[in-house]
Amino acid sequence: MVLPIAMGWRHLLFANWPVEPDVVATRLPDGLTVDTYDGRAWLSVVPYLNVDVRPRGVPGGVGFELPELNLRTYVTCDGEPGIYFFSLDAEGVLGVVGARLFHHLPYYAADIDMTAADGAIAFESERRHPGAFPATFSGTYEPVGEPFVPEPDSLAAFLTERYRYYTTGRDGSIRYANIDHEPWTLRGASVTIEANTLFEANGFEPPTDSPICYYSRGVDITSSRNRRWR
């Protein structure tokens, strides 16, 4: 049995693009249904830093850091909402291999540089995973405006307040894990994206519109073990 984990998520950008539901539905495994807001599905690019990654129950301060970049969408399974990841790029071979083997998540090894200066975050990622489609991301982001907690039923809540992820096992079964954390505190974000090929790497047309963006300083989370869906 894989141990549940604990960590912190820091300096997150949620960059969100609306797409037609059919665009997403054709890429989902059987058993998952596209979740929509005002009739639109969403694809989100999320760069951030994992900190103090460790087994749940182990005291803080002994874990490791792991910068990460993911492309995700929003789904339901038998009516239960969650996130489905198309890809997760991360630095650190051991973490990537462990997440693939034990958590059934589509992680890819990447070279990632994440730096903070004058309140802005610069994030660059280059996928280095053997045999994988190339994927790059380069951009800067910083918070703007006043902090807020998303109102229930708002778009911001739809895109961020998710407490479960779904994935597929090697046998094709649906698997999931529950995530526990305090509600998000968000701010608007000023974003400049210089390169983003995550869409093409995952079989989607590249976006042409500007994304709706939010920033969060972060939350501390705990995750359940990854389980097979009933």
What's the pTM?
0.93
Domain housing 132: 5-228
Q: How many whole angstroms separate alpha carbon 75 and alpha carbon 82?
A: 5
169: CATH: 2.40.400.10
Radius of gyration of the chain (CA): 17
Q: How many structural domains compose the chain?
A: 1
Task: Give the pLDDT of the chain (230 residues) as one tens digit per residue.
Answer: 457 889 999 999 999 999 999 999 999 999 999 999 999 999 999 999 999 888 887 877 777 788 999 999 999 999 999 999 999 999 865 555 555 555 568 889 999 999 999 999 999 999 998 888 999 999 999 999 999 999 999 999 999 999 999 998 888 889 999 999 999 999 999 999 999 999 999 999 999 899 999 999 999 999 998 888 97
Alpha helices (runs of H) in 74-197, residue ranges in sequence order:
93-103, 155-160
Residue in 6, 8, 19, 5 with CA at minimum distance from that of residue 216: 8
